[in-house]
Amino acid sequence: MQSAATPPFYQLVSFRPKLQTFPSKSRLCSLGTPFCRLRMASVSGFGLRPLRALGGSSSSSASDDGFVTFIEYVGKEGMNVKDDLVVLLDHIQYACKRIAALVASPFNYSLGKQTGLASVGSDRDAPKPLDIVSNEIILSSLQKSGKVAVMASEENDEPTWIRDDGPYVVVTDPLDGSRNIDASIPTGTIFGIYKRLEELDNLPTEEKATLNSLQSGSKLIAAAYVLYSSATILCITFGSGTQAFTLDHSTGDFVLTNPSIKIPPHGQIYSVNDARYFDWPEGLRQYIDTVRQGKGRYPKKYSARYICSLVADLHRTLLYGGVAMNPRDHLRLVYEANPLSFIVEQAGGRGSDGKNRILSLQPVKLHQRLPLFMGSLEDMEELESYGDIQQKVNPGYEV
């Protein structure tokens, strides 16, 4: 088990990110007029302005210009979640703002290089310094929140016990797609939140840390990803719909831009590394051949769109429909598949390992890998109808 007292990795590297400071929302413009946000494109890509207080409310809980920030939404205007969870989410969003600044920094080049620090026999990928710094940023924020019992991270072999009275458990992939950093391709942070299992409190620390982290995805109370791209977007669910917030860099606030994302029932895009076509099973090859010829249930030719950044590929799929997949045992059930499938289901889609609903699976180890298929409900039903879609061989390239 990891110790929460371990010195942060960023103390061991020469680069320390210089973070942006944000002006107050009450700041005045140079002309002396009250600060006004400019028109902002929504996550759906149709040029919508940020949403004002829900239902046109002018209550004091809304920000001073009428737009709804993330914390206002979860605390008062929208989900009305418990105060402890609001505190935790505030610390998580702050961590993600720091990571967004780090990813965009011109000084992160050396942090994108692989370290070779993965443990011998470990199920984890070899981390890069940027992964480790992101991990330390999240851990620090969770510690300061005072609301987390244990954090399980894709970057650590074992979970980190934080405090005995923390009501929540957080699982996270701190920086998904970090291999793309040098090419300025989108990356993301993924996290899921569970309640601490109080019935385990009398177990040894290492055992209760692991068992709390191995909860089924069906027990998630919240899950989110943050996309670091041309915009920084936080997409979250609390089990009753999926909402998206876009970071306003002028104020430092995540602003509500889509209160209810609904994935189209079918799309016209599939996202997969089809350079591996000849490694695929027959069922998956038949499905791809069928839809790209326009001979599937939806009689239009599908197009391939593949970024090789899970958060980015999924975000596009949520907005435009279709399927995003990795058919081999590569993606992690605890840190990636469960949180993202929860988000997709709450937007009206489906997450599957090719045979079973992801959220019905019981994890047996922290870094357990599996195939992952997510997307529009009708597209997923058609894909799974081909039966043999899980890639069982992995020739010629590393996991």
DSSP letters of 55-124?
GG---TTS-TTSBPBHHHIIIIISS---HHHHHHHHHHHHHHHHHHHHHH-TT-GGGGS----PPTT-SS
- Token pair of 381 as six digits: 């039903």
Q: Do 93 and 234 meet the contact criterion of CB atoms below 8 Å apart?
A: yes
Secondary structure letter of residue 4 according to DSSP: T
Return the active site residues: 123, 131, 154-155, 173, 175-176, 336
DSSP state of 129: H
Angstrom CA distances, 174 to 48, 167, 288, stand at: 30, 21, 32
Q: Are residues 199 and 283 in the same domain?
A: no
Instruction: State in Å, rounded, how far the first CA of the chain is from the last one.
Output: 24
Q: What is the pTM of this model?
A: 0.84
91 domain-assigned: yes
Residues 171 and 192 in one domain: yes
CB atoms within 10 A of CB 216: 15
314 and 204 share one domain: no
Q: pLDDT by residue for the chain (399 residues), tens digit each?
A: 655 555 554 444 444 444 445 444 433 333 333 333 443 444 444 444 455 544 433 333 455 567 899 999 998 755 668 899 999 999 999 999 999 999 988 776 555 455 555 544 455 555 668 899 999 999 999 999 999 999 999 999 999 999 999 999 999 999 998 888 778 899 999 999 999 999 999 999 999 999 999 999 999 999 999 999 999 999 999 999 999 999 999 999 999 999 999 999 999 999 999 999 999 999 999 999 999 999 999 999 999 999 999 999 999 999 999 999 999 999 999 999 999 999 999 999 999 999 999 999 999 999 999 999 999 999 999 999 999 999 988 765 654
Task: Report the domain count for the chain.
Answer: 2
Task: Please report which residue ranges of 146-255 form alpha helices under DSSP H.
Answer: 205-213
Residue 37: how many CB atoms within 10 A of its CB? Answer: 17
Q: Round to whole Å and give the CA distance between 57 and 73.
A: 12
Distances from the Cα of 221 to the Cα of 105, 215, 237, 279, angstroms: 33, 11, 8, 37
Q: Which two tokens stand for residue 233?
A: 């977007």
Supply the CATH number for residue 236's domain.
3.30.540.10
CATH number of the CATH domain containing 299: 3.40.190.80
Report the distance separating Cα 254 and Cα 198, nearest Å: 33
Name the domain boundary from 260, 286, 306: 260
Q: Please state the separation of Cα 366 from the chain's center in Å.
A: 17
Torsion angles phi and psi, residue 190, rounded to 5: -120, 135
Q: Could you say which of 221, 239, 260 is where a domain stops?
A: 260
Question: Do 130 and 209 sit in the same domain of this protein?
Answer: yes
Largest Cα–Cα distance of the chain, in whole Å? 67
Last residue of some domain: 260, 279, 305?
A: 260
User: For 337, what's the count of Cα atoms within 13 Å in the CB-facing half-sphere?
Assistant: 35
Token code pair at residue 292: 């790209």
